[in-house]
Structures are given as structure tokens and as C-alpha cells.
Amino acid sequence: MKAYRFLTADDTSEFCHKVTEALSKGWVLQGDPQYAFDAAKGVMRCGQAVTKIVEGDYSPDLKLGQL
């Protein structure tokens, strides 16, 4: 099964650490990073899709962050 996650955070080192942690656990970058201005908070937000091939079947109860 191919699992998918979309990681998001404010444009700080927190976002880079989140993506780096996912990569260290075997997730693979999928596409380009995305940036958008959050007018409510007045900050830039980042997003990055990642995928990972895992054993088993899909279930809505699957905890993607634990793969």
C-alpha cells in the first residue's frame, strides 16, 4: 500500500524538522513544497506531501504518523 501525508507548519525550522523526521523514517518527498500566507495569523505556512510504501491494507483508522 502507498501511504500519503501532507505535512504543514508555519515557515520556521519546525517545518524543516517535521519533513526531515518523515524522511528519516522512510517517507519520500512527493512534488514541490507549497507556501501560502495565513492572513489570520500573519505568517507564511509551508506544506509538503510525502509518501511511503508500507505493508498491509488501507484502513481509515490507520495512524499515518506511526508508519
Phi, psi of 17 (to 5 degrees): -65, -40
Residue 46: how many CB atoms within 10 A of its CB?
19
Question: Which has more pLDDT, 64 or 52?
Answer: 52
Q: Provide, rounded to the nearest whole percent, the portion of the chain with pLDDT above 70.
A: 100
Q: Is the pLDDT of residue 66 over 90?
A: no
pLDDT tens per residue, range 14-33? 999 999 999 999 999 999 99
Amino acid at 26: G
11-37 burial string, b = 16+ CB within 10 Å, else e? beeebeebbeebeeeebeeeeeeeeee
